Structure 1
């Protein structure tokens, strides 16, 4: 018998056919992967828009440029002095009301933890600073 699947004594085959079960599981796995939303975490920072009027009337040179840096240990520095997050928010609130508003330079170290950088960016976003720039991005070229 060419189609015999088991013993030749005429008893029914007792093995379960797992091919349909595997097919159904693969289809369910693909459907599950497709329906999972992409998990992203981002801090939205409104960057300045290129304004043609700004090119005609360039803003005056700011005498006071504040720099926030983060070292690899996660220490937040304000113009070279270590500060905590509450003090950072107070400094940002003070600079926001200054006329003209000083520039804020943000420079995290390449080895700084993303969590600390993300928290500092969230504080900057909440303080509504309008003149902010990322400096020192050339350190990320090798990454």
Structure 2
């Protein structure tokens, strides 16, 4: 590095700044940040499911629910074609599950296959409505709750 003392006859102060140390410090900081940022950002490894549309097999013992929001914001739940309240939904679900278990030989019967719940939710329905239907069906004892969706246009379903 060269240093300029300036002309000897001029006693004015020097106004030049040596920027080389500043650039050196900034480059070192840049390298440190580039190395430490990926280490600081940690994520939990999660394997997300790949979505595949499968055709459902409709069994007579399965329960089909339709959920939508009314114009006033209330939740409407339909068991088949009949509109039910939250308490009626739980009561009907308990009766349906008990009948199915008794039909198969009781709760200790070998190979007991419990019915499923298939929920069709309108795309404009708030989550609280659909979540409430899922919660009520699980509270009644149903362990398998699924959602019926419509595949995108032009999508061909394939059986595996």
TM-score by length of structure 2 reads 0.47
Gapped runs of 5+ residues in structure 2?
Answer: 7-16, 49-58, 104-113, 154-160
Deviations 1:54-109 (A, max 9, x none): xxxxxxx63x764322214561413241423x553343222211135766431111
Residues 36 and 104 of structure 1: CA distance in aligned 2, closer, same or farther (over 3 Å): closer
What is the SS of the residue equivalent to 2:22? coil
Matched, 1:106 2:106: no
CA distance in 1, matches of 2:85, 2:46: 32
CA distance in 2, matches of 1:104, 1:28: 49
Picking from 3, 8, 20, the partner of 2:4 is 8
Gapped runs of 5+ residues in structure 1?
Answer: 42-60
Matches within 5 A, 1:83-122: 83-84=85-86, 87-99=88-100, 100=103, 104-114=117-127, 116-122=129-135
Residues 28 and 92 of structure 1: CA distance in aligned 2, closer, same or farther (over 3 Å): farther
Q: Give the structure with higher Rg (CA).
A: 2
2:152: which partner in 1? 141
Instruction: Indicate conservation of the 8 Å contact 1:106/1:134, yes or no.
Output: yes
CA root-mean-square deviation? 4.0
TM-score by length of structure 1 reads 0.51
